[in-house]
Chains A and B, each alone.
Chain A
């Protein structure tokens, strides 16, 4: 059974600081996704990572994938308040199997 663990689950960070969110998964996967959810809103796709060593960047967020370690990271550079949200990673075994989500990391960026 595929399990996905994120840590930390809660993160309070100061503006301008850097931090990393970790996503571990338990079995082989052919792709990994990162989503963002604002309070009261739905999930928005951020990144799709397909292969070992894949790195994607958008603004202050950078995601990477190490399939051998079954680990993905979401790195936040010089955090700003607008990044406050809950971030989910999700993993798919293969083919058309549904995504399995981590429990999410609630990020709060404070001045």
Chain B
């Protein structure tokens, strides 16, 4: 089974802190994604990566950065946390290609509260 593991289920951070959210997948997937989920807004893409050291902005990258130094690990960084970044953060990974097994597999989510 594909396993996508996020480092924390719950985090509480103070405004202005630098926050690191870590995500690790164990299925050798090329693609990794960070989404945030907010009530009424669904899932919105923050950043994604198709390969090591490669990153692409999603729909809402402002206030965030990412790092992918190894294939299995994709980190989301909040440079200076703000209260409007309080949200559920979901990491996902997927294979490249046109076959059936290309759906995204999600981690358990990190609920971040910025106070």
Contact = CB atoms under 8 A, between A and B. Distances in A.
Contact of B48 (A44, A98, A104): A98
Given A88-B42, A98-B33, A101-B43, A45 B105 contact: yes
Given A98-B45, A101-B43, A104-B42, A45 B103 contact: yes
Interface in A5-38: 30-31, 33
A85 B106 CA distance: 16
Interface in B87-115: 90, 92, 96, 98, 100, 102-109
Contacts, number: 46
Contact of B102 (A43, A48, A101): A48
A90 B31 CA distance: 16
A62 B103 CA distance: 18
A42 B103 contact: no
B42 A102 contact: yes
A88 B35 CA distance: 14
A15 to B, nearest CB: 26
Interface in A54-111: 88, 90, 96, 98-104
Main secondary structure of the interface of B (DSSP, over half): loop
B50 A48 contact: no
Contact of B103 (A33, A100, A103, A104): A33
A88 to B, nearest CB: 7
A42 B33 contact: no
A99 to B, nearest CB: 6
A102 B44 CA distance: 10
Contacts of A45: 103-105
Nearest to B99: A50
A91 B66 CA distance: 24
Interface of A: 30-31, 33, 41-45, 48, 50, 88, 90, 96, 98-104
